[in-house]
Structure 1
Amino acid sequence: MKHRNQFRYVKSQHLEQVSVLRAEMNDFSYGKHAHEEFSFGVTLAGRQDFFASGAYHRSHPGNTIIFNPDEVHDGHSGVDDELQYRMLYIHPDQLAPVLKSVCSKQKADFRIVDTLLNDPLLRQHILSLALLIEDQTSNKLQQEYALYQLAVGITQHYGEYSPDQKARKVDHLLRQAQDYIHENIQADISLEDVSQQANLSKYHFVRMFRKQFGITPHQYILNCRINRAREDLESGVSLDDVVFEYGFSDLSHFNRRFKPVFGMTPRQYQQHFLSS
């Protein structure tokens, strides 16, 4: 079998912080990573195997996959046939106001409790918005309405946006440490710097952080830097400047960290956006 891995990212021209990934792959495996956005995916062909929320999952054609912001996951094709899927990324700042307009009882710490589900209506709304974003001729009204319909689909599936118990119990001190990382992502952050934000010893902090978020603080910092670097690449910042700005030792180091998350090298990713 000829192995073929293709990844196409498209940013919405009309909705800020909303983008789509169309992927076709069979011998590529994502490393553990997390996104700052909500991720809504639909498996179209093959089987999508991944680990998230403390469990292994298998997504068959027609299934919907949902990752909350900062939810660590990986992924690969689970069968010999080519895996095809679409993934819609929506930043909480974009999704929250729409959810609020649909359901006034939406909680500020809203998280979706399901990772894998089969909801034909929700699947239809995800694909409709994804296709509109890929279609460069669609207008703002069409995309805004499709986003609204997706919010309606979430409402119908989950009712009032009550966060699950796990979300309620997230340690406030760990969230403070997480906020510190986001605010100082370009600095040379040490483990001691971060653990002090939670008023914990370094090693106790590492254990608690890994238990809560699924990765170590070091891995989380790298993940955040990669997400910020991706935004700069999309904006046309030079590759050398991005490597220097986010503390990667050299381009090779950046390549090794970036490709397992986005399926292509940073240079390919930037060219992909600047040429589209």
Structure 2
Amino acid sequence: MEQQSQFRFIKSTHLLEVTALEAAMDGFTYDKHAHEEYAFGVTLSGRQDFFSNGVYHRSPPGHVIQLNPDEVHDGNSGGDDPLNYVMLYVHPRQIEPLFADAAGVESAKDIRMSETLMHDPVLRGYINELVRLMAHNVGSRIEQEHALYQIASRVVQRVGKFEPNELARRADGLLRRAKDFIHNHVDADLSLEDISEAANLSKYHFLRLFRRQYGITPHQYVINCRINAARTELDAGASLNDVVYRYGFSDLSHFNRRFKRIYGMTPKRYQASVTA
């Protein structure tokens, strides 16, 4: 049953844009969604089943999951046993300088991790260590920074030869323009026409391209961005009622339903967990 599932979000006291999640899932299913952050997770027990980039994955215990920013995915516990896993969410501003340093380049803004699911005991150990430091609020700033740098270095090793120009070309420029427009107007009453015009595409051609590229509709992406923006404000202590109406939700009940399908708990409980 869904009520047996438990989620604990932990904000680092040293790394301002890193959040850890400890999750125990039994009967809960995430809606399709995406995060602004890079995500690095470890399946601890049970099996983690999820779609990402049009591929169905099954993650057994000990496996590592990587997700790029804005990578659409869902998730649920697979098999008969409850699922336990940890996940780190790291904002690009926090980790991309570390990617660049590990790769020996000036900028790593367009790095894309091609492996979604892998068996890598080294990376698994680095992820578990940073979660441990954050969950128990132990270790100095330099210890947590070093743990995150180890994760970034291992990711760069697995990416292989780092070619920023080639990686940048993978992104569709028109759709990127549309996504930037959404992020810059996330609290506005956006229409499909507004967004498609920002991308210089006809409305329905844009709709088809966007859905094919990202696996969700522009409308779903706008809702997702609003929830992520609301979460950021809740992290900073914003009033729940202010956040609800600022980002276009009809009422608190509507916001609760949307938020819970992505973060496993109500926004009120989430805010209490990260600001305690």
Length-normalised TM-score, structure 1: 0.95
The question of whether the paired residues in 1 share the 8 Å contact of 2:63 and 2:118 is answered with yes
Aligned to 2:200: 199
CA deviations 1:140-167 (Å, max 9, x no partner) are 0110111111122123322333479786
Aligned to 2:40: 40
CA spacing shift, 1:182–1:78, aligned 2, 3 Å = same
The question of whether the paired residues in 2 share the 8 Å contact of 1:113 and 1:163 is answered with no
Aligned to 2:22: 22
Cα distance in 2, alignment partners of residues 240 and 267 from structure 1: 10
The question of whether the paired residues in 2 share the 8 Å contact of 1:71 and 1:213 is answered with yes
The range that moved more, 196-205 or 152-161, is 152-161
1:81 lines up with 2:81 in the alignment = yes
Aligned to 2:239: 238
Paired residues for 1:1-276 under 5 Å: 4-105=4-105, 107-162=108-163, 168-274=169-275, 276=276
The question of whether the paired residues in 1 share the 8 Å contact of 2:33 and 2:73 is answered with yes
Listed as ranges, the gaps of 5+ residues in structure 1 are none
The question of whether the paired residues in 2 share the 8 Å contact of 1:107 and 1:162 is answered with no
SS at 1:40's partner residue?
strand
SS at 1:35's partner residue?
coil
Structure 1 residue 123: Cα displacement: 0.8
CA deviations 1:184-228 (Å, max 9, x no partner) are 111111111100011111111100011111111000000000001
Structure 1 residue 4: Cα displacement: 1.5
SS at 1:154's partner residue?
helix
Structure 1 residue 50: Cα displacement: 0.2
SS at 2:49's partner residue?
strand
The question of whether the paired residues in 2 share the 8 Å contact of 1:45 and 1:61 is answered with yes
Structure 1 residue 71: Cα displacement: 0.1
Structure 1 residue 270: Cα displacement: 1.5
Q: How many residues align?
A: 275
Amino acid at match of 1:122: L
Cα distance in 2, alignment partners of residues 147 and 166 from structure 1: 23
SS at 1:136's partner residue?
coil
Cα distance in 2, alignment partners of residues 141 and 3 from structure 1: 38
Amino acid at match of 1:98: L
SS at 1:51's partner residue?
strand
Alignment RMSD, CA only? Answer: 1.8
